[in-house]
Structure 1
Amino acid sequence: MPLQSMTGFARYEGTSGRYRWAWELRSVNGKGLDLRLRLPTGTEHLETDVRKLVAECFSRGNMQINLTVTASEAGLETVVNQAALANVLSLRERLRDVIDPAPLRLDTLLSIRGIVDFREPAEQEGERAARDSDLLSGLRLALADISAMRETEGAALCQVLLGQIETIGILTRQIEADPSRSPQSIAARLAQQVALVMDSGSTVDQDRLYVEVALLAAKADIREEIDRLRTHVTAARDLLTKGGPVGRKLDFLSQEFNRESNTICSKSNAATVTAAGIELKVVIDQFREQVQNLE
């Protein structure tokens, strides 16, 4: 399954009998699948089916789905309020000696509120079932459109993330190969620090000094952090190659990347390693920001 971004838009329109409808879908980043629906009066019963269809297509993203349905005016039927018409005619008869007795014109009657009304005809069960079927079919097509857009965005995002992972790998190898990490360099720095202590004239227990030196050497070793970074680089690259909804897993790896880079910077006793560690943190922050867009 291809990678998907969580950003997308789709609009799909159609007709069903005397109805014209339009689906409009918008999707942005989200920790889970958060769906907000706006269904017009008379279509609320479709909510369960709509949520089911969306859940079958996506696992993450804040989605807004709006449906508009309008009926053709050609299908309106005319309804005459017989009681109101009878009252008007009766009133005219009672006032015939006061007002002009000319016959009432149709346009006059139509201008009197409540005499004539226009309304949609009662919807038949078969007509409603056909409309619902067409609406859900249209939603499936709209979901396919927004899914295609999210996949296109995901493919572009994948290339960006792969480039950032490659940079993390390069910086990790740079730190690993730094001359300051060689046993000779570490030994020389420790010897220099010991010499400073001894030359100060302070009384130092030799055994205690050796223990402290060993502890300092162990704390300065970043071999484990480097190994974990290399493992995380491989895991992240595999996830991107595998595809599918891997955003959560990559977000977790980005946190692990950040943890290891922080430890390297804190343990570093060389300016070159510190500089590479800071650059590593910058790339990891960029990686994590981009990962937030993945499903």
Structure 2
Amino acid sequence: MIRSMTGFGRGRADNEVQAVTVEMKSVNHRFCEITVRMPRQLMEIEDKIKKIIQTYIKRGRVEVFVTISGEGLAKKTLQTDWELLGEYMKAFQEISERHQLSKSVEIQDILHMPDVMTTSEEEVDQTSIHQLVFTAVEQAVGQLLTMREKEGQELYQDLVQHLTNIQQLRDEVESLAPTVSEQYEDRLRKRLTDYLEGTIDEQRVLAEVAIFAEKADVNEELTRIHSHLTQFFQTIDTTDVIGRKLDFLVQELNREMNTIGAKANNGKIAQCVIDMKTQLERLKEQVQNIE
């Protein structure tokens, strides 16, 4: 089953004092790129979170958001520099005496004195919170995979339809290809007859038709298109990471179609090529979102 690279997942885990919520979303990307946004106290487990996600996801850009509620990740304490406060008070007293100021120092004044009161953090044991994060990550990535697989099923149906349309157009070109040389021979004979008034060098005509037939021969390109389509059908029925291989097959199909369009001197074949490339463009858009 193929999987899309677009999805969203959410997980939650908690204990008596804390709760962890993990949300993640993924979009198209050529490789697997994961970014994690979470409290800085949890930075030490960022690599572990990425490894958990990489176990399940091989391609796509994944954004992860970790939020914590409940008791904090660190214990905060307040310190007062009494010696510095004393220096401030002496300075205020001296200023008051020199300038005859009567206003006394209030508590709010002390709170605004630089460096008098500071806070510090003491990290608490985070073993339990780490486990909550890992549990929530597993839940979120599980939901993400479910959404990616569901969208992958829809992509599969679209791919099959576009591939079938291309196969039908390819078969139509194959049925038209033998008539190209015949039509060229008819046109050549008519022009020579009109120009030479009925006298035609049969050997020259056959030689010209043979040269044209060789230049206009698209059997090799049609065979390769059939082979690429067969590989495409086989690939989308596997459980592997297939996005890059499908990208390559799309490029090869486009190359063969362009060659047919350049070779075939026929209006109906040219229209088939246009229709094939239209289907291929739609196919390419869908492939861009496959893991």
How would you bin the TM-score normalised by the shorter chain? Answer: 0.7 to 0.9
Opposite residue 192 of structure 1, the aligned amino acid is: R
Encode CA deviations 1:49-77: one digit per residue, 9 max, x unaligned.
Answer: 1221122111111111122234437x977
Alpha-carbon distance, 1:175 to partner: 1.5
| Partner-residue secondary structure (3-state), 2:41 | coil
Identify if the C-alpha distance between structure 1 residues 199 and 10 changes in structure 2 by more than 3 Å, giving closer, same or farther.
same
3-state SS of 1:266 partner = helix
In the alignment, does 2:186 pair up with 1:186?
A: no
SS at match of 1:294: coil
User: What RMSD, in angstroms, separates the aligned Cα atoms of the two structures?
Assistant: 3.6
Q: Contact 1:17–1:131 at 8 Å: present in 2 too?
A: no
- Secondary structure (helix, strand or coil) at the match of 1:242 reads coil
Amino acid corresponding to residue 184 of structure 2 in structure 1? R
In 2, the alpha carbon distance for the partners of 1:209 and 1:34 equals 63
Equivalent residue number for residue 282 of structure 2:
286
1:86-126: CA deviation from partner (whole Å, max 9, x where unpaired): 95xx99xx9xxx99xxxxxxxx9699629988877x344xx
Aligned length: 281
Tell whether the 8 Å contact from 1:110 to 1:116 is kept in structure 2 after alignment: no
Say if 1:80 and 1:43 are closer, same or farther in 2 by CA, change over 3 A: closer
Deviations 1:213-233 (A, max 9, x none): 322111112111211111111
Q: Give runs of ≥4 in structure 1 deviating > 4 Å.
A: 75-80, 108-112, 114-120, 204-212
Output the TM-score relative to the length of structure 2.
0.80
CA contact (8 A) 1:236 1:250 kept: yes
Conserved 8 A contact 2:81-2:117: no
Q: Is the 8 A contact 2:169 2:272 kept in 1?
A: yes
Provide the C-alpha distance between the structure 1 equivalents of 2:132 and 2:173, rounded to a whole number of angstroms.
61
- CA contact 1:109–1:115 (8 Å) conserved in 2: no
Aligned to 2:56: 57
Name structure 2 gaps, 5 residues minimum.
94-100
Q: For the structure 1 residues 261 and 77, does the alpha-carbon distance in structure 2 shift closer, same or farther, using more than 3 Å as the test?
A: closer
State the partner residue of 1:136.
134
Q: How does 1:106-125 map to 2 (within 5 A)?
A: 113=111, 122-124=122-124
Alignment correspondent of 2:46:
47
Note the C-alpha offset of 1:262: 1.3
Q: Which moved more, 1:39-48 or 1:108-117?
A: 108-117
Separation (CA, whole Å) in 2 of partners of 1:253 and 1:80: 67
Judged with a 3 Å threshold, the aligned counterparts in structure 2 of structure 1 residues 80 and 48 are, in CA distance, closer, same or farther, namely: closer
- What residue number does 1:231 align with? 227
Secondary structure of the equivalent of 1:243? coil
1:218 is matched with which residue? 214
Gaps of 5+ in 1: 100-107
In 2, the alpha carbon distance for the partners of 1:33 and 1:195 equals 63
Question: Contact 2:12–2:139 (CA<8 Å) still a contact in 1?
Answer: no
**What TM-score does the superposition give when structure 1 sets the normalisation length?**
0.79
Q: Secondary structure at the match of 1:231?
A: helix
Deviation digits for residues 110-152 of structure 1 (CA, Å, limit 9, x no counterpart):
99629988877x344xx31111121112111111111111111
Distance in 1 of aligned mates of 2:215 and 2:128: 72
Q: Secondary structure at the match of 1:11?
A: strand
Q: Which amino acid aligns with 1:272?
A: K
Note if contact 2:216-2:264 (Cα within 8 Å) is conserved in structure 1: yes
The answer to whether residue 267 in structure 2 is matched with residue 271 in structure 1 is yes
State the one-letter code of the partner of 1:257: L
Identity of aligned residues (%): 27
- 2:29 alignment partner in structure 1: 30
Residue deviations 1:29-60, cap 9 Å, x none? 01111222223211111121122112211111
Q: Is the 8 A contact 2:5 2:289 kept in 1?
A: yes
Distance across 1 between alignment mates of 2:272 and 2:190: 29
